[in-house]
Amino acid sequence: MTPANEDRPLEIERKFLIRMPDPDRLAAESTRKIRIRQIYLKLSGDAQSRRLRLSRPEGGEEKRYYTEKIRLTDRTRIEREREIGPEEWDALMAEADPERRVIEKTRWCVPSGPHTLEIDIFPFWTDRAFCEVELSAEEERFELPDWLRVIREVTDDGRYTNYALARSIPEESPDRG
């Protein structure tokens, strides 16, 4: 997340649908592995998505977060996120959206120049994954390593947000595009 100011913390990112990376290469290139569980909540206020996230870094402590997002452009969102305790987690769970499944994923953090690539592996896909990169500006340049096999960019494809995946997993050939 890139803070613009206290009231409008911005998340600027690009997202790519990639072929499933080689697990050994992914483990060798990454600096961090995090197990993530996301529960989407019913909408309220101006938020266009609300979620709870349970984050468990390998070898680290489990943490809980509450996040709200508001879309500004395909690449930029206002993202308000804060760590919460177990009591608030339990209270917010009562607001879980029954129409959205829990999203579970393993995130691999891979350094790439001045950026960190976040490669998300989901249990519902065996042939593809996501690669996200957070930027400080929408037009900031970056490079993806040549060992990642990009199928296509999905930054502007609403079907490939985690919020959308919680409702429906796109049924398409990974070779599309």
CA distance 49 to 165: 12
79 closest CA partner among 146, 173, 5, 171: 5
- 173 CB-near residues (< 8 Å, 6+ apart): none
What is the pLDDT, as a whole number, of residue 2? 43
Is residue 151 within a helix (H) or strand (E), and if so which, with residue range?
strand 150-153
Domain ranges for the chain: 2-165
Q: What is the pTM of this model?
A: 0.89
Tens of pLDDT along the chain (177 residues)? Answer: 444 445 569 999 999 999 999 999 999 999 999 999 999 999 987 778 999 999 999 999 999 999 999 999 999 999 999 999 999 999 999 999 999 999 999 999 999 999 999 999 999 999 999 999 999 999 999 999 999 999 999 999 999 999 999 999 987 655 554
How many Cβ atoms sit within 10 Å of the Cβ of residue 52?
A: 21
What are residue 98's phi and psi, to 5 degrees? -70, -15
The model's pLDDT over 29-44, given as tens digits with 9 standing for 90+, comes to 999 999 999 999 999 8
Q: How big is the chain, counted in residues?
A: 177
Buried b / exposed e along 147-164 (16+ C-beta atoms within 10 A): ebeebeebbeeeebbbbb
Query: Which residues sit opposite 112 in a β-bridge?
Result: 115
What CATH number does the domain located at 2-165 have? Answer: 2.40.320.10
